[in-house]
Amino acid sequence: MEDQEILAKFRDPAARNVAFNQLVRKYQSKVYWHVRKMVVDHDDADDLTQDVFIKVWNHLENFRQDASLFTWIYRIATNECLSFLGSKRRKFFLPLNDVGAELTAKIEADESLAGDEVEFKLQKAILRLPDKQRLVFNLRYYDEMPYEQMAEVTGTSVGALKASYHHAAKKIEQYINSITD
């Protein structure tokens, strides 16, 4: 179902639940994996994914369609992830690297990476990046999102996003080469 059709249905109180159900089914996988890449842990990703859709439910009526529905939902998900990671750091007085270390420990416990040493190093290198740079890297590298759309999701200029991705890629290569030598 097209986004416009979902939005039109949502404005009708009688069809609101059906429209929201269709919206969730359409975007749940993308939102979940977008969040999961940032927080790694499934339970955290599950909580955040639900929070994202609750916010969508609460604010969809006021959605002005300046951006596409997909971009708007991604933006909510992005803000939820950054808030979650920031509050976690503040709650436990953790410096930047310690959250990365915690996420790396979760990656190490994940059996999906067993046997793929290069991929494991790549994931460790990604998790060492600052949250916002990691977000930019994920959107570009895994989601292959165009820079213009990334700019709408993150509220950052295209030039700054390109520079951020370039720096992230260099940091990853340097880290992997340093632990391989």
Partner 1 sequence: MNKPFRLDEHRRRPQPPLAPPPDRYFEQLPTRLMQRVQTSAPSPAAWGWLSALSAPVRTALASGVVLGGFAASFLLSPPATIQPVATASLAQVSREEMVQYLLASDQRVTLTDLAELPGAAQSVPAGTLQASPDELQDLLDTQPTEETYL
- Tokens representing residue 45 in the block: 């990703």
Question: Which of 7, 15, 57, 82 contacts partner 1 by CB under 8 A?
Answer: 57
Least separation in angstroms between CB 119 and partner 1: 6
Contact (CB, 8 A) for 74 and 32: no
> Helix H segments across 12-157?
16-39, 42-59, 69-91, 96-109, 117-127, 131-137, 147-154
* Cβ-proximal residues to 179 (8 Å cutoff; 6+ apart), any chain: 121
Quick check: 78 binds partner 1 (CB under 8 A)? no
Sign of CA dihedral 72, 74, 78, 84: positive
Q: Confirm or reject binding of residue 113 to partner 1 (CB under 8 A).
A: yes
Short-list 74, 90, 78, 125, CA closest to 104: 125
By the rule CB under 8 A, 111 interacts with partner 1: yes
Identified binder of partner 1 from the candidate list 142, 146, 157, 159, rule CB under 8 A = 142
Between 68 and 112, whose beta carbon lies closer to partner 1? 112
Phi and psi (nearest 5°) for 38?
-85, -40
**Span from 65-73, 88-96, 104-112, 150-158 in contact with partner 1 (CB under 8 A):** 104-112
Which element (helix H / strand E) includes 9? helix 3-11
Pattern 13-52, partner 1, x by CB under 8 A = ----x--xx--xx--xx--xx--xx--x-x--xx--xx--
Nearer to partner 1, 94 or 107 (CB): 107
Scanning 62-70, 76-84, 88-96, 113-121 for contacts with partner 1 by CB under 8 A, the matching segment is: 113-121
| Token duo for residue 116 | 């793929």
R_g of the chain computed on alpha carbons: 18
- How many chain residues bind partner 1 (CB under 8 A)? 41
> Which residues in this chain contact partner 1 in the complex, by CB under 8 A?
17, 20-21, 24-25, 28-29, 32-33, 36-37, 40, 42, 45-46, 49-50, 53-54, 57, 107, 110-113, 116, 118-119, 121-123, 126, 141-142, 169, 172-173, 176-177, 180-181
